[in-house]
């Protein structure tokens, strides 16, 4: 099978080497040196350029090299009429869940407060509630959201989820749609955003949402920077409506040095590092997908471009 590999990362060589190690029969062509585009059957891509699919009249699959497809859909509003799949790597899901657990522990155990005390050489201990008394709300119940829910439940947190559609198989209470959002927010002290970025979810973390959380709540955003309205967050932190935020994603990356988020004492910034894609583990998932394509079997983790996920 002839496939094109295109990424914006500096790991392209590692991806190609891993693909050929796990599937030596593949003909892996690195964009833009792809030869005859009519020969290409599958594209493995991340934030592809506008002309990537030109001439690929025998294309059968677009496999995104990440959990989200918003970058692809934004740059290609008219995709070729072939299946589009997102990457669901259980290892990456676990890493993301670990990040969310750390953020939850950070705020629950008040390590953010102790960090500020450290700068002042101040010795002061603080009581904290039991995990079961802490309402953690997870927005989004995809592979990463489900992994996060499982990990938080193992430590005894009072977890609930919010989703656009019912999830009868979920192990926690699930609040659904706009009508379920107020009740979900009212019971949430630590809010974790793991939503896909769509027109409906862009700017969802705004003043209106913050005002429905209990006073002194916390925000954890590991989904997309465009979910968060930064001026509204800063205002909520100043008034005490929110007590802290841990942010891994931003509308503009790298986060500009001029951003006030870097210097705010109640904001903890990480450089989009919650779940860095590992070519070794992710390639195993991708090779399985390509084998299914060859055998004519149902493909994994297909997305609906009209819904955005």
Write down the mean pLDDT value for the chain: 97
> ∠ CA 42-272-116 to the nearest 5 degrees?
170
Q: What is the mean pLDDT of residues 274-298?
A: 96
Single pTM value for the model: 0.95
Domain range annotation of the chain: 2-89+277-295, 91-269
pLDDT at 215 over 90: yes
In CATH, the architecture of 91-269 is 3-Layer(aba) Sandwich (3.40)
The catalytic position among 16, 164, 224, 232 is 224
Predicted confidence (pLDDT) per residue in 74-84, tens digit: 989 899 999 99
Residue 5 in this model has a pLDDT that exceeds 90: yes
pLDDT digits (tens, 9 = 90+) for 258-284: 999 999 999 999 999 999 999 999 999
Give the pLDDT of residue 141: 97
Q: According to the model, what pLDDT value does residue 133 have?
A: 98
Among residues 272, 280, 292, 301, which one is catalytic?
272
Asked if 125 is an active-site residue, the reply is no
Average pLDDT over residues 231-242: 98
Q: The domain 2-89+277-295 belongs to what CATH superfamily? A: NAD(P)-binding Rossmann-like Domain (3.40.50.720)
Q: Cis omega before residue 303 (within 30°)?
A: no
User: pLDDT grade, residue 306 (50/70/90)?
Assistant: confident
Once rounded to an integer, what is the mean pLDDT over residues 201-219?
98
SS (HEC) of the chain:
CEEEEECCCCCHHHHHHHHHHHCCCCEEEECCCCCCHHHCCEEEECCCCCCCCCCCCCCCEEEECCCCCHHHHHHCCCCCCCCEECCCCHHHHHHHHHHHHHHHHHHHCCHHHHHHHHHCCCCCCCCCCCHHHCEEEEECCCHHHHHHHHHHHHCCCEEEEEECCCCCCCCCCEEEHHHHHHHHHHCCCEEEECCCCCCCCCCCECHHHHCCCCCCEEEEECCCHHHECHHHHHHHHHHCCEEEEEECCCCCCCCCCCCHHHCCCCEEECCCCCCCCCHHHHHHHHHHHHHHHHHCCCCCCECCCCCCC
Is 122 catalytic? The answer is: no
% of the chain surpassing 90 pLDDT: 96
Given a cut of 90, whether residue 130 has pLDDT beyond it is: yes
Q: What are the two backbone dihedrals, phi and then psi, of residue 236, each rounded to the nearest 5 degrees?
A: -65, -35
pLDDT band (50, 70, 90) for residue 9: confident
pLDDT computed for residue 179 by the predictor: 98
């Amino acid at each position: 099978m002839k496939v094109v590999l295109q990424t914006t990362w500096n790991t392209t060589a590692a991806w190609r080497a891993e693909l050929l190690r796990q599937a030596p029969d593949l003909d892996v062509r690195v964009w833009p040196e792809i030869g005859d585009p009519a020969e290409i059957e599958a594209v493995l891509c991340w934030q592809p350029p506008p002309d990537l699919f030109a001439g690929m009249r025998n294309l059968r699959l677009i496999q995104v090299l990440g959990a989200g497809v918003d970058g692809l859909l934004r740059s290609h509003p008219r995709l070729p009429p072939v299946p589009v799949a997102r990457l669901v790597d259980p290892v990456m899901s676990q890493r993301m869940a670990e990040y969310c657990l750390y953020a939850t522990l950070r705020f629950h155990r008040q390590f953010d407060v102790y960090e500020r005390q450290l700068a002042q050489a101040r010795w002061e201990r603080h009581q904290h509630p039991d995990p079961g008394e802490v309402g953690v709300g997870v927005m989004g119940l995809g592979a990463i959201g489900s992994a996060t829910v499982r990990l938080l439940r193992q430590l005894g947190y009072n977890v609930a989820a919010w989703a656009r559609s019912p999830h009868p198989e979920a192990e926690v209470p699930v609040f659904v749609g706009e009508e379920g959002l107020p009740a979900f927010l009212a019971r949430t002290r630590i809010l974790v955003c793991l939503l896909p970025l769509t027109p409906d979810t862009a700017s969802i973390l705004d003043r209106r949402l913050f005002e429905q959380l209990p006073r002194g709540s916390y925000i954890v955003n590991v989904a997309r920077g465009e979910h968060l309205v930064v001026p509204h967050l800063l205002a909520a932190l100043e008034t005490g409506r929110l007590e802290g935020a841990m942010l891994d994603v931003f509308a503009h990356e790298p986060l500009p040095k001029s951003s006030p988020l870097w210097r705010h004492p109640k904001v903890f910034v990480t450089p989009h590092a919650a779940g860095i894609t590992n070519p070794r583990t992710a390639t195993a998932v991708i090779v399985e997908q390509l084998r299914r394509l060859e055998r004519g079997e149902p493909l994994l983790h297909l997305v609906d471009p009209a819904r955005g996920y």
